[in-house]
Amino acid sequence: MRTTIARLLSAVMLLWLLSAASVASAAIWDSVPDEQLKALQLERSATPKQLFEALSTRWKANLNKGKFAKWWEPIAMDQYFAPSLFYKSEGPDIETTREQCVQCHTAVTHGWVKSWEKSVHARLGDIRALPDSDNRAYKKAIIAEVEDNLRAQGKLAAGTPLKEVACIDCHMGVGKTSGNHKTELHLPSRTDCGTCHIKQFAEAESERDTQIWPQKQWADGHPSHAVDYIANVETNTWAALQQREVAAGCTACHYNQAKCDGCHTRHEFSAAEARKPEACATCHNGVDHNEFEQFMLSKHGTIYQTHGAKWDWEARLADAIGKGGQTGPTCVMCHME
């Protein structure tokens, strides 16, 4: 009897060790493709912190003014299209606290504050309190994932829940309590968002590693959101334009490589907004790339226009058909997995 129990315990222990080894070997999310890990020289067993550092290093190295840099100068609007390259704060030279950001901007830029107050960033407690039956409940797991990412980077104390994501976290640094408005303020870039949302950062950046053309019709990674800024400034006709305002018209769409608010706009950063075809239409429209018009005039678009108001856009994309009540495909359903 004792021998049998001992064997059972040994078997259980072996299974536990195999399970632990399996978890350890799958530290990086499955949605991060093998091609990307190979390009970053990482194993699947790497930590999220290592993934973020590799992604951020490569992103910074690949975002620049291009090979024609000496032939053109940015205009004021460029600092908002590629903030990590050009933005310089013109704000007051004062020390400000986390609380003062909201207090001041409630009077100065009321719309920004109202959008933020509606966001998940400002209402983490409300999301945590949702019943599992609510279609937004999946966001609780995302909050936990963000907390784990921040703890791994030493930006959130062990066992301490993330209270909110406020102005200062995105514009000065995650977890800061105060900072100088003139010297420390910056506009968030892709890597700033990626500090918290490492998996999403990797998924977005993976386009440059998986968009490979068998007959070399395009360079690797092209065309995609992950390289759209450098594809813009590397074009000699764009760089040669004497009227920089005209060139900036191209950058008005070719900035997704630089930041994340092209699809889910600041300061609400709504996933529901980003899922709607109109979000894609900001860029994918017009004579030279009329994808939005084609979609809206298709049967898919007809279904969206006649029934879309009844769909629950807060449901997770994977649950859109089912929990969300969606009865036809939209842009993101086919193009964003």
Mean pLDDT check: name the lowest of 17-26, 179-188, 239-248. 17-26
| pLDDT > 50? residue 68 | yes
The CA distance from 111 to 140, in Å, is 27
* 178, containing H or E segment: strand 178-180
* Mean pLDDT value across the chain: 91
The CA distance from 208 to 204, in Å, is 9
Find, among 58, 57, 27, 56, the residue nearest to 43 by Cα: 27
**Residue 27 confidence class, pLDDT cut points 50, 70, 90:** confident
272-292: pLDDT as tens digits: 999 999 999 999 999 988 999
85-144: pLDDT as tens digits: 999 998 899 999 999 999 999 999 999 999 999 999 999 999 999 999 999 999 999 999
* 49, containing H or E segment: helix 48-62
Are 79 and 65 a contacting pair, CB within 8 Å?
no
Mean pLDDT check: name the lowest of 3-7, 60-64, 249-253, 293-297. 3-7
What was the pLDDT predicted at 123? 96
| pLDDT > 70? residue 23 | no
What was the pLDDT predicted at 267? 96
Q: What is the mean pLDDT of residues 171-185?
A: 95
| pLDDT > 90? residue 10 | no
| pLDDT > 90? residue 3 | no
| pLDDT > 50? residue 325 | yes
The CA distance from 176 to 297, in Å, is 48
- More confident call, 6 vs 87: 87
213-227: pLDDT as tens digits: 999 999 999 999 999
Relative orientation angle of helices 198-205 and 48-62, to the nearest 10 degrees: 40
Are 257 and 205 a contacting pair, CB within 8 Å?
no
* 263, containing H or E segment: none
| pLDDT > 80? residue 20 | no
CB-count exposure of residue 22 (10 Å: 0-12, 13-18, 19+): exposed
The answer, yes or no, to whether the previous bond of 284 is cis (omega within 30 of 0) is no
249-265: pLDDT as tens digits: 999 999 999 999 999 99
What was the pLDDT predicted at 106? 95
What was the pLDDT predicted at 235? 92
Percent share of the chain, pLDDT over 70: 92
What was the pLDDT predicted at 337? 67
Are 330 and 276 a contacting pair, CB within 8 Å?
yes
Reading the block at residue 52, the tokens are 């973020």
